[in-house]
Chain A
Amino acid sequence: MKNISYIVSFLTVSFLLFSCQDVVDIELDSASKRLVVEGAVQSHLDTQFVKLSYTSDFFETTLPDYSALSNAEVELFEDNISLGKMTFHTKKEQFEIFHRPEIGSEYYIDITLPTGELFRSEPEELRFAGQIDSIYSEVDESNFILGDAVQVLLSTQEVEGTGDAYQWKVFINGEYQSTGEDLFFINDDLIEGNTLNRAPVYVFSSDEYDNRIEEDGRIEVVVWQAGITRNYYRYIAQLADQSFTGGPFDTPPAEIRSNIYNTANDEERALGYFYAADVDVADTLFLE
Chain B
Amino acid sequence: MKTLLAALLFSIFALSLTAQEKHTLSGYVRDSETGEDLPGSTVFITQTGSGVTTNVYGFYSITMPAGTYTVEYSFLGMQKKSVEIELNENIKKDIELLPSSTQLQEVVIESERDDQNVTNVQMSVEKLDMKKIQKIPQLLGEADVIKSLQLRPGVTTVGEGATGFNVRGGNIDQNLILLDEAPIFNSSHLFGFFSTFNPDALSDVELYKGGIPARYGGRLSSVLEVRQREGNMRQFKAQGGLGALFSRFTVEGPIVKDKLSFLFSGRRSYADLFLKLTDEFAGNQAYFYDFNGKINWKINDNNRVFLSGYSGRDIFAFDEAFRFGWGNNSLSLRWNHLFNEKLFSNFTAYYSDYNYELGAQVDGLGFDWKSRILNYNFKADFTYYLNSKNTLEFGVNGLFYEFRPGIAAGFGEDNFINPIKVPEEYGFEPAIYISNEQKVSSMLTLQYGLRYSHFLNLGPGDVNIYAAGQPTRPGDIVGSESYDRGDVIADYGGFEPRFGANILLNPESSVKASYQRTRQYLHLVSNTTAATPLDIWKPAGQYVNPAHSDQVVLGYFRNWRGNRYETSVEVYGKRLRNVLDYKNGAQLLLNEFVETEFLTANGRAYGAEFMLEKKKGDLTGWISYTLARTELKAEGYTAGSYRAVENGVNNGEWYPANWDKTHDFTFVLMYDFNKKWSVSGNFTYQTGRPISYPDGKFFFDNKALGNFPLRNNERLPAFHRLDMSATYTPESKRDDRKLSVTFGVYNVYARNNPYSIFFRQNADNPLQSEAVRLAIIGIPVPAVTLNFEF
**Chain B residues within an 8 Å CB radius of A18:** 776-779, 781
Whole-angstrom CA separation of A218 from B760 in the bound complex: 31
Provide the B398-422 mask, 1 if CB < 8 A to any CB of A, else 0. 0000000000100000101110100
Asked whether any CB of chain A lies closer than 8 Å to the CB of B223, the reply is no
Q: Does B773 contact A (CB under 8 A)?
A: yes
Please report which residues of chain B, range 188-211, place their CB below 8 angstroms from some CB of chain A when the two chains form the complex. 190-192
- CB within 8 Å for A7 and B694 given contacts A12-B191, A246-B758, A249-B528: no
If A19-B775, A22-B773, A253-B692 touch, does A142 touch B363 (CB 8 Å cutoff)?
yes
* B589, CB-defined interface residue at 8 Å: yes
A134 at the interface (CB under 8 A from B): no
Docked complex: B752-774 residues within 8 A CB-CB of A: 752, 754-760, 765, 767-774
Residue of A nearest to B193 (CB): A15
**Which chain A residue shows the least CB distance to B584?**
A254
Contacting residues, chain B, for A67 (C-beta < 8 A): none
Q: Are B697 and A60 within 8 A (Cβ)?
A: yes
Complex CA gap A257/B204 in Å reads 50
Contact yes or no, A251 B528, CB < 8 A? yes
- Among B106-114, B424-432, B529-537, the stretch that binds chain A is B529-537
Q: How far is the CA of A180 from the CA of B369 in the complex (A)?
A: 25
Q: Are A21 and B773 in contact (CB under 8 A)?
A: yes
Q: Which residues of A contact B779 (CB under 8 A)?
A: 18, 20
Distance between A219 CB and nearest chain B CB, rounded to angstroms = 20
| Contact yes or no, B709 A255, CB < 8 A | yes
Alpha-carbon distance between A242 and B530 when the two chains are bound, in angstroms: 16
- Chain B residue numbers with a CB within 8 Å of A19 are 755, 774-778
The CA of A200 and the CA of B78, in the complex, are separated in Å by 67
Chain A residues with Cβ below 8 Å from B321 are 142, 144
Given contacts A11-B324, A250-B529, A252-B529, contact A64 B695 (CB under 8 A): no
Does A241 count as interface, using CB distance less than 8 angstroms? yes
B172 CB → nearest A CB, Å:
13
* Partner pick for A20 among B322, B587, B701, B752, CB 8 A cutoff: B752
**In the complex, are the beta carbons of B414 and A198 less than 8 A apart?**
yes
Which of chain B's residues has its CB closest to A252's CB? B692
Please tell me if the beta carbons of A24 and B757 are within 8 angstroms of each other in the complex: yes
CB pair A58–B159 under 8 Å, yes or no, is: no
Minimal beta-carbon separation of A16 from chain B (angstroms): 6
- The answer for the CA separation of A281 and B566 in the assembled complex, in Å, is 75
Asked whether, in the complex, the Cβ of B585 is within 8 Å of the Cβ of A23, the reply is no
- Take A143-B362, A144-B321, A249-B529 as given contacts and tell me if A36 and B709 are in contact as well, using a CB distance cutoff of 8 Å: no
A16 to B781, CA, bound (A): 13
Q: Name the one of A22, A199, A246 contacting B756, with C-beta atoms under 8 angstroms.
A: A246
Q: Are A11 and B316 in contact (CB under 8 A)?
A: yes
Contact between chains at A34 and B700 (CB < 8 Å): no
**Contact assessment for B700 and A36 in the assembled complex, using a CB-CB cutoff below 8 Å:** yes
Looking at A80-88, A189-197, A208-216, the stretch in contact with chain B turns out to be A189-197
Contacts of A62 in B (CB 8 A): 767
Return the contact of A249 from the options B286, B532, B773 (Cβ within 8 A): B532
Report chain A residues within 8 Å CB of B528.
Answer: 248-252
Assess whether B694 is in contact with A248, with CB atoms less than 8 Å apart. Answer: no
Instruction: Select the residue from B324, B416, B698 with max chain A CB neighbours within 10 A.
Output: B698
Asked whether B705 is an interface residue with its Cβ less than 8 Å from the other chain, the reply is yes
Residue among B697, B752, B755 with most chain A CB within 10 A: B697
Given contacts A55-B697, A61-B765, contact A21 B709 (CB under 8 A): no
Question: Does B527 count as interface, using CB distance less than 8 angstroms?
Answer: yes
Q: How far is the CA of A253 from the CA of B693 in the complex (A)?
A: 8
B318 to nearest A CB, angstroms? 5
Task: Give Cα A245–Cα B414 distance, bound, in whole angstroms.
Answer: 32
Can you list, as one digit per residue, whether each of B362-389 has a CB less than 8 Å from chain A (1) or not (0)?
1101000100000000000000000000
B416 adjacent to A22 (CB under 8 Å) = no
Chain A's closest residue to B190 (CB) is A15
Q: Which of B322, B701, B775 lies at the interface centre, i.e. has the most chain A CB atoms within 10 A of its CB? A: B701
State how many angstroms separate the Cβ of A50 from the closest Cβ of chain B.
12
A189-B585 contact, Cβ under 8 Å, with A64-B698, A247-B774, A248-B755: no
Q: Does A238 contact B (CB under 8 A)?
A: yes
Interface presence of B11 (CB below 8 A): no
Check if B358 is an interface residue, CB within 8 A of chain A. Answer: yes
**CB of A267 within 8 Å of the partner chain:** yes
Bound-complex Cα distance A12 to B418 (A) = 27
Beta-carbon nearest neighbor of A190 in chain B: B417
Minimum CB–CB distance for B584 against chain A, Å: 4
CB-contact partner of A24 in B530, B699, B772, under 8 A: B772
Residues in A whose Cβ lies below 8 Å from that of B705: 239, 242, 256
Which residues of chain A are near B590, meaning CB under 8 Å? 1, 4
CB distance from B442 to the nearest CB of A (A): 52
Q: Smallest distance from the beta carbon of A65 to chain B beta carbons, Å?
A: 11
| A115 CB-CB contact with B under 8 Å | no
Give complex CA distance A140, B765 in Å: 31
Contact of A58 with B769 at beta-carbon distance under 8 Å, contacts A5-B589, A53-B699, A144-B318 already known: yes
- Cα–Cα, bound, A230→B697 (Å): 25
- C-alpha gap A18/B645 in the complex (Å): 42
- A241: which B residues are within 8 A, CB to CB? 585
Number of interface residues of A (CB under 8 A): 86
Contact B589 A1 (CB under 8 A): yes
Complex Cα gap A130–B779 (Å): 53
Q: Which segment, of A25-33, A94-102, A104-112, faces chain B? A: A25-33
Contact A245 B758 (CB under 8 A): yes
- For B645, the chain A residues whose CB sits under 8 A away are 267
Flag whether A163 is at the interface (Cβ < 8 A): yes
Bits for A130-145, please: 1 = Cβ < 8 Å to B, else 0: 0000000000101110
Q: Mark interface residues in A46-61 (1 if CB within 8 Å of B CB, else 0).
A: 0000000101111111
Whether A237 contacts B318 by the Cβ 8 Å rule is no
Q: Kindly state the separation between the CA atoms of A36 and B778 in the bound complex, as whole angstroms.
A: 39
A202 within 8 A of B: no
Chain B residue with Cβ nearest A54: B698
Contact pattern, B 684-698, Cβ under 8 Å of A = 1, otherwise 0? 000000011111111
B162 at the interface (CB under 8 A from A): yes
Interface pair B757/A26, CB less than 8 Å apart = yes
CB distance from A157 to the nearest CB of B (A): 10
Contact with A195, one of B324, B362, B416, B771 (Cβ below 8 angstroms)? B416
CB distance from A49 to the nearest CB of B (A): 13
Looking at the complex, which one of B191, B316, B592, B757 makes contact with A248 (CB distance below 8 Å)?
Answer: B191
Within 8 Å of chain B (Cβ to Cβ): is A283? no
The chain B residue sitting closest to A250, CB to CB, is B528
Say yes or no: A26 contacts B771, CB within 8 Å.
Answer: yes
In B501-552, the 8 Å CB interface with A consists of: 527-530, 532, 534
Q: Which of B694, B708, B770 contacts A23 (CB 8 A)?
A: B770
- With the chains together, A33 CA to B360 CA distance in Å? 44
* Residue A8 lies at the interface, judged by CB distance under 8 Å to chain B: yes
A210–B684 CA distance with the chains assembled, in angstroms: 50
Question: Any chain B CB within 8 A of the CB of A273?
Answer: yes
Are A196 and B416 also in contact (CB < 8 A) when A12-B191, A245-B759 are? Answer: yes
CA distance A143 to B364 in the complex (A): 12
Contact of A59 with B769 in the complex, beta carbons under 8 Å: yes
CA distance in complex: A172, B162 (Å): 40
Indicate whether A58 sits within 8 Å of B706 (C-beta atoms), given known contacts A178-B701, A190-B417. Answer: yes
0/1 interface trace, chain A 154-192, chain B, CB 8 Å (1 if under): 000010000100000000000010111000000001111
Q: Does A44 contact B (CB under 8 A)?
A: no
Distance to closest chain A CB from B286 (angstroms):
8
B-chain residues with CB within 8 Å of residue A192 when the two chains form the complex: 418
Asked if A63 lies at the interface with its beta carbon under 8 angstroms from chain B, I say yes
Top 7 closest pairs, chain A to chain B, by CB: A246-B758, A178-B702, A254-B584, A144-B321, A55-B696, A31-B695, A248-B530
5 extra interchain contacts, Cβ-Cβ under 8 A, other than A237-B587, A247-B756? A20-B775, A59-B769, A142-B321, A239-B705, A253-B759
Would you mind naming 20 contact pairs between A and B with Cβ atoms under 8 Å apart? A1-B587, A7-B322, A15-B191, A28-B693, A30-B695, A38-B701, A55-B696, A55-B697, A61-B765, A61-B767, A64-B698, A142-B321, A151-B363, A238-B584, A239-B703, A245-B759, A246-B774, A248-B776, A252-B527, A255-B708
